Every structure is written in C-alpha cells, then in structure tokens.
Amino acid sequence: MATTPSQVSTLTPSHLRWPADLGKRLGSDAPSRLWAIGNVEILGKRKVGLFCSVRCPGDAILGAYDSARKLRDDGVTVVSGFHSPVEKECLRILLRGKQPIIICLARALEKFRLPAGWRSAVDAGRLLLVSPFEKRPRRPTTESAQRRNEIVAALSDEVLIIHAEPGGSVARISELTARWHIPLRDV
C-alpha cells in the first residue's frame, strides 16, 4: 500500500521533536525539513547508528546478528538506512523486538510503499521512517545514500560500525563520526 499525504508529516527546525544535532553537526548542510511516517517522539530518544558496508566478511556478519539481537533485547533505539544486506538482516532481527527503530531513507516518502512487515511496527508507534527528500529521488542514488548516511550519523548518540570497506562510504561516515566525537559501540 502506497503512503498517502496524510500519513506523511513534515518536520522543520521549529518542531518540538526536531533533532538539534542535525544543525550542530551538519551546519549549513543540515536539511531544512524532514518528512516522516510514524512516531516522531522516537527522535527524542538516545540512538545508536548502525552502519555496514555492502561487502562484509563472514565473521563480521555473525557479529552483526549477535549485536542486533543484543540491541533488540536491551531495548536500544537504532537508527540506520538499513540498506546493505547485513543492515537489512539486522532490521529483520530488530523488528522482532519492542524497541524503537528509525529508518532513514535515501529516497522521498512520496509514493513510498510501506512494506507489510513494517506496518505493524509503525502502527505500534515504535517505527519511524524519515527522509530529507520531498519528491525526488523515488529510488536511492549514490548521492542520496551518502546524504542519508550523513543524516543517520548526525542523529546518532553512538555508532555501531559492523564493517567499513576501506575507501567506501561507511569508511567516510566513520571519519565523520570521529570528527563529531560520536562514541563507537563495540560489535
């Protein structure tokens, strides 16, 4: 089922739940709006940003699944793009819990088809989808994925980097979070 305009809310810096860290960390590159589906109150919680490169060694994959189960069982709010294969599997594990989750999309929410497995979590008030894109892109691009990852990092109070391929986008995010002094969480 595609989203309808009534399901999508728009947040601006004057909104009570606007994440102040976006402006502090991204400065003039901070989005002027976020489009959201779900419980925006989740933005006020302490969040662990989850990142993993598309290419990931097997031992890191096993550690990722153990970490996702621990985050779920401990009730930790996780924010991620949940785009790489390992991130998608972590989302599947997290959705079996009761803790809040924030999915930051690398595409606009307009005409977004909410996966059936996500609807119950949105309805329960524990899943929030956010996007810095109003109408385009309708599919993730390299540029929109980079923007999404920067926003995920800026929203995070801690980061869990499962694996960063040298020279890849997650490695760049790792450098960014280090510059912002965001603590690393052990896998």
For the chain, give every domain's residue range. Answer: 9-179
Indicate whether 186 pLDDT > 70: yes
* Cα distance between residue 66 and residue 73, in whole Å: 10
* Chain position carrying tokens 């956010």: 130
Of the pLDDT bands very low, low, confident and very high (cuts 50, 70, 90), residue 153 is very high
Q: What is the pLDDT of residues 22-78, one digit of tens each?
A: 999 999 999 999 999 999 999 999 999 999 999 988 888 988 999 999 999 999 999
Q: Which two tokens mark 66?
A: 């153990």
Residues 5-21 have a mean pLDDT of 87
DSSP helix/strand/coil, 72: helix
pLDDT of residue 57: 83
DSSP assignment of 4-47 equals: -TTT-EEE-TTSTT--HHHHHHHGGGS-S-EEEEE-GGGGGS-E
Q: Flag whether pLDDT at 4 surpasses 70.
A: no
Report the mean per-residue pLDDT for the chain: 93
Residue 159, judged by CB atoms within 10 A of its CB (0-12, 13-18, 19+), counts as buried
Residue 9 pLDDT level (bands cut at 50, 70, 90)? very high
- pLDDT of residue 1 exceeding 70, the answer is no
Confidence label for 187 from pLDDT (cuts 50, 70 and 90): low
Asked if pLDDT for residue 3 goes beyond 80, the answer is no
Residue 10: both structure tokens together: 């728009």
Whole-number Å distance between alpha carbons of 62 and 69: 11
Distance CA 39, CA 52 (A): 25
CA–CA separation, 162 and 84 (whole Å): 11
Beta strands 101-104 and 127-131: pairing type? parallel
What is the token pair recorded at 28?
A: 């003039």
CA–CA distance from 144 to each of 57, 132, 141 (Å)? 25, 9, 5
The burial of 83, by beta-carbon neighbours within 10 Å (0-12 exposed, 13-18 middle, 19 or more buried), is given as buried
What is the CATH topology of the domain spanning 9-179?
Answer: Rossmann fold (3.40.50)
CB atoms within 10 A of CB 73: 12
Mean pLDDT of 9-15: 94
